[in-house]
Amino acid sequence: MTNEAGRRRWNNAAEVAGWAKREPFTNRVVPFVIEAANPQPGDRVLDIGPGGGNLTFAFAERIGAQGHATGLDISTGMTAWATERARSGGVGNVTFLTGDAQVLACPGAPFDLVVSQFGVMFFDDRLAAFTNLRRHLRPGGRLAFACWQEGARNTWHPGRILARFAPPAPALAPGVSPTGPFALGDAADTSEMLAAAGFERIVCARHTLIERVDEEAVRDRDFVPSMRLPPDREAEAEAAIEAHFARFRQPNGLSRFELNFQVFTANNPG
C-alpha cells in the first residue's frame, strides 16, 4: 500500500519552503545517528526522508569516496533541493531519489546501513515500511534512526494546544498506522514493530538536548489555517498558539526548547 497521505503532505510547497528554517532544530541529532550507525569507509548507505540532505552528507563524509550514500525522499521538492546542495558543494558520492520507501525497491541495494533523522514517523503502514527497509539491507546490515520520544515529553510541540480546537480525527482504516511526529514515541511498541518486521538486536537509546533557536524553527504559521476551523474559533486558536510559544522565549530573542528524542538501532539477520 503506497503512502498517499505522506506524498500529499511532503509535496506541499509550503512544507518544502519551510524546511530550511527547521534544520537548525533537527540537525543536532546528526552526531547521535552517526555514532549509533558506526559507518565504515566504503559502506553503502540508504537515508530515508533526508529532506535537505544534512544527514546524508554527514554519512558521505564518513564513508569516503569508495562508499556511496543514497537519500530517498517522498518529496520531489526536497529531492531537488538536496541534489542542488550536493552539486553546489561538490559532494560526488551521494545520490538523491524521489520515491515511497514504504513500497519502493530502491536502486543500489543491498545497503550496509539504512538510516534516518526524523524521516520514518510518517509511514501509514509502518510494519510494511520497515519490512521493506529491512529487505534493502545486506545480511547483517544495520538500521539506525532518530525519532521523537512521546509527545508528552516534547512540550515545545503545539499539538496538545491545537487538539482543543481540531475536529475529531476520523477512524483509521484497517491496516493503516497512525502517523505524525510522535508516532514512534512509544519505545516498547516501536521495538515490537521492528521485531515483527524481521529485525533483531533492537536497542533504543533515549536522549535529551536543550536547543536555543529562532522560534520559527518550530512554529509553523500554517498550523491554524490548515485545520480549517470554524471562522469564529480561528482567533482563539491563534491566541492559544501565541501564548504557548511565548513560554519558551528568552531575553536574547531566541527560544529555549527541550528536545527529547530516541535513536533505535537494529540488525538484519544474517
Q: CATH number for the domain including 152?
A: 3.40.50.150
* Residue 220 covered by a domain: no
Residue 80, Cβ density class (10 Å: 0-12 exposed, 13-18 middle, ≥19 buried) = middle
Domain that holds residue 140: 4-210+261-267
* Residue 254 covered by a domain: no
Residue length of the chain: 270
Q: What is the pLDDT of residues 128-177, one digit of tens each?
A: 999 999 999 999 999 999 999 999 999 999 888 888 887 777 777 777 77
Instruction: Give all strands (DSSP E) within the chain, no chain letters.
Output: 44-48, 68-73, 94-98, 111-117, 137-148, 200-213, 255-267
* Residue 10 covered by a domain: yes
In DSSP terms, 260 is beta-bridged to 208
* Residue 28 covered by a domain: yes
Q: Phi, psi (5° rounding) for residue 142?
A: -125, 140
Task: Specify the pairing of strand 255-267 against strand 94-98.
Answer: unpaired
Q: State the chain's maximal CA–CA distance in angstroms.
A: 60
Report the candidate in 86, 103, 84, 100 with the shortest Cα–Cα distance to residue 9.
100
| Mean confidence (pLDDT) of the chain | 90
What is the three-state SS of 79-90? Answer: HHHHHHHHHHHC
147, 184 Cβ separation under 8 angstroms: yes
In DSSP terms, 69 is beta-bridged to 45, 94
C-alpha cell at 129: 515500511
* Residue 47 covered by a domain: yes
* Residue 253 covered by a domain: no
**Mean pLDDT for the stretch of residues 34-38:** 98
Q: What is the pLDDT of residues 105-125, one digit of tens each?
A: 999 999 999 999 999 999 989
Q: Into how many domains does the chain fold?
A: 1
* Residue 248 covered by a domain: no
Task: Give the model's pLDDT for residue 1.
Answer: 47
Residue 83 has pLDDT above 50, yes or no: yes
